[in-house]
Amino acid sequence: MIKPEVPHNERERLSCVKKYQLLDTLPESDFDNITSLVATICDVPISLITLLDTDRNFLKSHHGVDIQESPRDISFCGHAILQEEDIFIVEDSRKDIRFKDNPLIDNFNAIFYAGVPLRNEEGLALGTLCVYDHKPRTLSDLQKKAMLTFAKLVINLFELRLNNRLLDEAKLELTNRNAELNKFASHVSHDLKSPLANIISLTQFLKDEEGNTLTENSIEYINFIEESAESLKNYIDGILIHYKANELVNADKEYISVKKLFEDVQRIYLLDNEHYKTENADQDVFINKAAVTQVLLNLVDNALKYNNKPNPKVTLVFSKSKNYYKFKVIDNGNGIAPEKQDEVFKLFNTNNQIDVKGNKGTGIGLFTVKSLVEKLGGIIKLTSEVVKGSVFEFTIAK
């Protein structure tokens, strides 16, 4: 018997074998189905999918034998991966000097062998798709072609599992990083709110202090400080709402009346019936109440902030289809120009709009709304006309 030589690129080959993380894994039906089919097509009792480790031949799939591994130095596959041809065939191992006195002949009656090296895209042989028979024989051209075809399928399955694992690892890393970012943003935002509130209060105190001797320039500077602090406060509030909204998506669904949902929004903004109306609200829904309420609050808040009319009005409308609940938030506000409507849901896009208090928006609110709606399985769209007002319509999957 002649032990198989070690390939010249063995270190690289072994590294690649381990990369696929298939060694010592449990049987899988995808691979077992292949060895069963190959055994049937080639009319042999034994068919294997092997991976050559440092000193063993691991059998990822073993049709016709109960063992899961064998020593590499007696393996037929160790010789097969050294060959340049597509398929390595030993018609009668008893007459081949490389296998004379090989324990596999005595223990498993391994007389005939045919193995296709499983080469990846880099040409590295990871193992083989092979068959054994207990008698001398040959393979037909059709049987050889079948083995080559199934060998390619095995490699594709290796690659698929590798890519799926790498994707899962990337998703997990992204999830962990996102969680850390959420925690960091929330922590920093909370820490910044307190000193900002102090700045705003102190600037107001300086302006209101009786008998102050501030010059006009000093008062103007204080106003600048106050405006900047207020603007930063709005950004921080927007960031907190955005990360809070991401947490709301995981809240449980519950049954609630649409009327109650709309009344909650009205109560939060202290709106009377002259300025706030609802339509088709006498129905029950099974929804993520926390998330949907946040969407409605953001949209109503925008409807009121960007409305310079002496008599601002907001109307909430509900309807439903077979698969979706539908909500509309209609206002008679300033409206949005057609060329700017596609941009309103982008992060930090403000369209240079100024609210009724003279403050510029942050461009976070509508981005948060869109993100929430999509995570709830719906879509949101805008219809608007300058001066006349806007209609935000969104759906939520049932």
Of 31, 126, 134, 146, residue with least CA distance to 80: 126
Q: Provide the pLDDT for residue 361.
A: 66
Q: Provide the pLDDT for residue 214.
A: 74
Name all domains of the chain by residue range, CATH numbers in brackets. Answer: 10-169 (3.30.450.40), 252-398 (3.30.565.10)
Q: Provide the pLDDT for residue 175.
A: 78
Do residues 397 and 324 lie in contact, with contact meaning Cβ atoms separated by under 8 Å? Answer: yes
Q: Retrieve residue 162's tokens.
A: 């590798």
Q: Provide the pLDDT for residue 121.
A: 92
The residue whose two tokens read 């032990």 is 3
pLDDT, block means (10 residues), the chain with 398 residues: 93 95 95 98 98 96 95 96 94 94 93 97 96 97 97 97 93 80 67 73 74 74 75 65 68 90 91 92 92 91 90 95 95 91 81 69 81 92 93 95
The set of residues, in sequence order, having a beta carbon less than 8 Å from that of 156 and lying 6+ positions away, is: none
Q: Provide the pLDDT for residue 258.
A: 96
b or e along 265-288 (b: 16 or more beta carbons within 10 Å of the residue's beta carbon)?
Answer: bbeeeebeeebbbbeebeeebebb
Do residues 117 and 21 lie in contact, with contact meaning Cβ atoms separated by under 8 Å? Answer: no
Specify the amino acid at residue 256.
I
Phi, psi of 145, rounded to the nearest 5 degrees: -60, -40
Q: Provide the pLDDT for residue 342.
A: 83
User: What is the Cα–Cα distance from 38 to 36, expressed in whole angstroms?
Assistant: 6
Q: Provide the pLDDT for residue 244.
A: 66
User: What is the Cα–Cα distance from 278 to 276, expressed in whole angstroms?
Assistant: 7
Do residues 392 and 340 lie in contact, with contact meaning Cβ atoms separated by under 8 Å? Answer: no
Q: Provide the pLDDT for residue 312.
A: 92
Q: Provide the pLDDT for residue 200.
A: 76
Q: Could you give the angle at the alpha carbon of 245 between the alpha carbons of 189 and 363, nearest 5°?
A: 65
Q: Retrieve residue 261's tokens.
A: 């949902």
User: What is the Cα–Cα distance from 88 to 148, expressed in whole angstroms?
Assistant: 11
